[in-house]
């Protein structure tokens, strides 16, 4: 049970213990306070006593759990949790949930942690926090950032990169997005930087030109919440070493008549997860890998952000209370 809650809330082992402790103490405080209130009211009718007691518990519980969470350093988590429940039951509308915060599909269609100064922006606590994993220049990352700029639905909360001089890190700095430069040994032999992702409350991982295989620790922590985009029509021209112009050279060398993009869930194998969307484009006579890459990039930029948005909507719609 603890592992499922840890995966759902995207928190580390210590934080899940503190959260459960806050639930327990908050519940006890709620029951005690409600009982004292009922004693003062002296309600005699059993049916009326039950109704009033339930109403009192409903009002007191969010206040009690927020009060307790403050002393255990979990106020931010419970503020978002209470806000989510309140919106679900219609107590407060979505537009009233904006708070000051910082740093924290189907159809075909055309290291060291480091962060800069992050300006305060209006950001809903219900927004899905996305981490983009990239190894190169970051053109797809830029399009995704642009797509969700100012969105109350999702926030690009972190850029993760395995190369210290990759262009995507310049994008992170320009966009004032925190970034994390990861080391190979810790990524594969440790817990895949799960603690760092949990500290940023990351809900969803998007691979955008990320060249390392995703370790089992992250696959377990983010089931069906890690996606990748591949510059070919899988299952052809996928697998280890098949990225960038290597893919386009193979497609042209095989005299294929079409290529395209594949957006898919990530599993334990390279380019092997369930396919979410494929979009085709022609391979023209006289194509070079660079010319074909240009058309592939157009498809990536046009489709990847939209698919991410649709998956985030689905994720939010199916996310229930634990």
Cα–Cα nearest to 109, from 313, 298, 320: 298
**Domain end (from 49, 66, 97):** 97
In the chain (322 residues long), the average pLDDT of successive 10-residue segments reads 58 78 91 87 80 87 88 80 63 36 36 34 65 96 94 93 95 95 92 92 96 94 95 94 93 96 95 94 95 96 95 82 44
Tokens 């537009």 found at? 95
103: tokens are 């740093």
Do residues 168 and 151 lie in contact, with contact meaning Cβ atoms separated by under 8 Å? no
Same domain? For 134 and 202 the reply is yes
What pLDDT is attached to residue 34?
Answer: 85
Tokens of 2: 């603890």
Spatial contact of 197 and 129, defined as CB atoms under 8 Å apart: no
261: which strand partners? Answer: 279
Phi-psi region of 121 (alpha: psi -120 to 50; beta: other; left: phi over 0): beta
Do 142 and 218 contact (CB within 8 A), yes or no? no
**Based on the domain organization, do 45 and 133 belong to the same domain?**
no
Number of domains the chain is built from: 2
Domain boundary residue among 47, 71, 97?
97
Q: Are residues 82 and 215 in the same domain?
A: no
pLDDT of residue 90: 53
Q: Is 301 an active-site residue? A: no
| Selected catalytic residue, list 123, 147, 230, 301 | 230
CATH number at residue 224: 3.40.50.170
Domain of residue 127: give its range.
113-318
Residues 138 and 6 in one domain: no
């Amino acid at each position: 049970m603890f592992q499922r809650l840890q995966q759902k809330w995207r928190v580390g082992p210590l934080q899940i213990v503190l959260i459960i402790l806050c639930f327990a103490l908050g519940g006890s405080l709620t029951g005690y306070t409600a009982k004292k209130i009922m004693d003062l009211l002296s309600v005699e009718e059993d049916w009326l006593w039950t109704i009033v007691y339930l109403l009192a518990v409903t009002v007191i519980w969010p206040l009690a759990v927020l009060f307790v969470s403050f002393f255990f350093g979990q106020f931010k988590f419970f503020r978002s949790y209470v806000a989510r429940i309140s919106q679900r039951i219609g107590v407060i509308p979505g537009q009233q949930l904006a708070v000051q915060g910082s740093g924290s599909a189907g159809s075909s269609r055309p290291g060291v942690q480091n962060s800069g100064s992050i300006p305060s922006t209006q950001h809903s606590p219900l927004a899905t926090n996305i981490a983009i994993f990239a190894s190169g220049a970051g053109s797809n990352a830029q399009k995704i950032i642009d797509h969700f700029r100012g969105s109350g639905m999702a926030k690009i909360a972190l850029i993760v990169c395995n190369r210290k001089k990759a262009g995507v890190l310049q994008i992170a700095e320009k966009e004032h997005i925190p970034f994390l430069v990861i080391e190979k040994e810790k990524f594969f032999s440790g817990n895949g930087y799960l603690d760092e992702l949990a500290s940023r409350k990351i809900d969803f991982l998007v691979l955008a030109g990320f060249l390392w295989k995703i370790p089992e620790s992250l696959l377990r922590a983010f089931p069906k919440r890690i996606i990748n985009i591949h510059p070919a029509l899988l299952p052809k021209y996928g697998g280890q070493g098949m990225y960038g112009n290597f893919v386009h050279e193979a497609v042209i060398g095989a005299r294929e008549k079409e290529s395209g993009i594949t957006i898919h869930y990530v599993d334990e194998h390279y380019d092997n997860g369930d396919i979410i969307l494929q979009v085709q484009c022609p391979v023209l006579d006289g194509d070079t890998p660079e010319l074909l890459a240009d058309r592939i990039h157009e498809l990536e930029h046009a489709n990847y952000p939209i698919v991410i948005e649709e998956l985030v909507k689905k994720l939010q719609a199916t996310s229930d209370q634990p």
